[in-house]
Every structure is written in C-alpha cells, then in structure tokens.
Amino acid sequence: MLVVNGLVKRFGGFTAVNNVSFEVEQGEILGLIGPNGSGKSTIFNMLSGTFPPSAGTITFDGSEIAGLPPHKIINRGIGRTFQIPRPFRRLTIFENVALAGYYGQGSHSLAKANDAAEKALTMVGLPTDRQASVDGLGAAGLKKLELAKAIATGPKLLLADESLGGLDETEMDQAADMLRKIRDELGITIIWVEHIMGVLMRVVDRVMVLDHGEKISEGLPSAVSSDPRVVEVYLGTDAHATQAAAAEARR
Ligand SMILES: Nc1ncnc2c1ncn2[C@@H]1O[C@H](COP(=O)(O)OP(=O)(O)OP(=O)(O)O)[C@@H](O)[C@H]1O
Ligand SMILES: [Mg+2]
C-alpha cells in the first residue's frame, strides 16, 4: 500500500531523515520507534505533505505523492494525528471532528461530515452530543479527539503520532487497544509512532527503529527488541522499557 524509497529531509545543513526506505502492507500496524529527535515526526510530516522531502519517493496505492500538499494527500486516503493536539477551542468536540470530515473526505457534504463525526466519536469513545466542549478534555481525551478527527477524514492509512504521551498506564493500554480496534473494525492500516516501547510491541505486527534519522532495525517485535543495536540506543535512556518490551513480545 505504501512504498517509501530513499527518503531524505534536510533542514539547512542538518539531516533529520537520512535515506530511509520501508513498505507498509494493507491491514498491518507498523510501529515506528526511536529516541527523541530521531526523525519520526519528520517522516510523518513528509508522508502527510506538511513539507516536501529533500529526496526520495513516496508511492501510495500505486501513485507518487511526495511533495503533494496536505489536502490532496488527505483526499487520497492518508490521515494523521498530531503529537501535540491543537483543537479549535471555540468549536465543540463534535464540530472539530465534523470539520475534519467535511474537508478531509473532499465531498464537502455537511450530512456526510456529520455522519463521519458521529461514527468516529463513537469509535474512540467520546460523547456524540453536539454541545460537549473541548475544554472538558484531559490528555487522554485530547488524544482521542485527534484520533476521531483523523478517522473522520476517511483514511485508508492512519499515521498516529505518539498517541500515548502524557497518559497513565491504564490509559496507555486503552489507547493501544483502540488502535487495534480501528484496524480490526474499520480496516484502516496504521503507522504508529511512539517512544514508549512496551505497549506498542504488544499491538504492532512489525516495527522499524530510527536513530539520528537512520533506520537501524526492522522486523517482528520479538526480534527487534532483542536486536543489540536497538538495545544500545535505548540503554541508559530507556533500558527498563526495552527489557519490558522484549519480555512482553516474548509472551
Ligand atoms: N521544521 C524543522 N526545522 C528544523 N529542524 C527540525 C524541524 N522539524 C524537526 N527538526 C529537527 O529534526 C530532528 C528530528 O525531529 P523529529 O521531530 O522528527 O523527531 P522525533 O523522532 O519525532 O522526536 P520526538 O520523539 O521528540 O517527537 C530534530 O533534531 C528536530 O530538531
Ligand atoms: Mg515526534
């Protein structure tokens, strides 16, 4: 479904993503992990058209999409969440999601947008009443709103950026289960970016690891979490989480 070849992003003289290639199969959940600043969000920004790659190709459903603007990429079926949720505070929860549906689906039909919002909110477990305010949402609620907005655009491929940041352990488990449910029930393929490895390893089919903008490992969770290169990168910063992930993946 997605074929990425030789992707590069330079910011001035700094290379944030260096010659990264990977593929995503229809129906899979691919985990994308790596330490802070390793280039995860930058890859999402190129896939979603926030900015063009410095080099490389991105083929989605057989056509080249590298460098297309965000609205064209959304219309082709790639939806994303943002690491830092910034909903429109003056709109209700429902309006935020319906707005995403209205522009994202490209049909510009209010009825379809409302219908998409209703379904997306139900999927993530947020209220579907038209009055509920964004101000009542905590960290977990805002993450759900991000997911609902992305789902309402009707994606075939969902790019979920750090859905677990700021959540406690129970909320993390719920969020992980929700991503799996989105894949299982809506048939949406997912790339999930996280740096909390443990929960991610339980849900993803495959995982790819970045360090300093380069791909250092890729494969099944059990193999990747015991890959010496991965353990080394996570040692010190996240050794405990890495071991927990390895144990989790072996179960
Ligand atoms: N628009 C930008 N302009 C300049 N540098 C940028 C820009 N966006 C990202 N970078 C730099 O590129 C590198 C990769 O950043 P990126 O946001 O992709 O990391 P990340 O893997 O998502 O990290 P985190 O886990 O902290 O979210 C960082 O050094 C960052 O400072
Ligand atoms: Mg990031």
The pLDDT tens digits of the residues spanning 150-201 come to 999 999 999 999 767 777 888 888 889 999 999 999 999 999 998 777 788 8
Confidence of residue 49 (pLDDT cuts 50, 70, 90): very high
User: Has residue 136 got a pLDDT over 60?
Assistant: yes
Pocket of ligand 1 (CB under 6 A): 11, 16, 34, 36-42, 83, 195
For residue 11, the ligand 1 atom closest to its alpha carbon is 4
Average pLDDT of the chain, as a whole number = 91
Q: What per-residue confidence (pLDDT) applies to 249?
A: 66
Alpha helix stretches (DSSP H) within 54-204:
70-76, 93-104, 110-124, 139-152, 169-186, 197-203
Round to whole Å and give the CA distance between 90 and 120: 20
Q: Which residues contact 82 (CB under 8 A, 6 or more apart)?
A: 146, 161
Q: What per-residue confidence (pLDDT) applies to 46?
A: 98
Cα 204 to averaged position of ligand 1 atoms, centre (Å): 23
Confidence of residue 245 (pLDDT cuts 50, 70, 90): low
Check: CB of residue 134 under 8 Å from CB of residue 120: no
Mutate to test the pocket of ligand 1, among 15, 32, 40 (most ligand atoms within 8 A of CB): 40
For residue 38, the ligand 1 atom closest to its alpha carbon is 21
Q: What per-residue confidence (pLDDT) applies to 244?
A: 64
The one-letter amino acid at 204:
V
Domain residue ranges in the chain: 2-77+157-250, 90-154
Cα 34 to averaged position of ligand 2 atoms, centre (Å): 9
**CATH fold for the domain made of 2-77+157-250:** Rossmann fold (3.40.50)
Round to whole Å and give the CA distance between 239 and 141: 29
For residue 39, the ligand 1 atom closest to its alpha carbon is 18
Structure tokens, 63: 């056509």
* Residue ranges near ligand 2 (ion) with Cβ within 5 Å: 40-41, 83
Indicate the pTM of the whole model.
0.91
User: Has residue 89 got a pLDDT over 80?
Assistant: yes
Mutate to test the pocket of ligand 1, among 38, 197, 210 (most ligand atoms within 8 A of CB): 38
- Name which residue sits closest to atom 29 of ligand 1, judged by CA: 37
Q: How many helices (H) and strands (E) does the chain have?
A: 10, 10
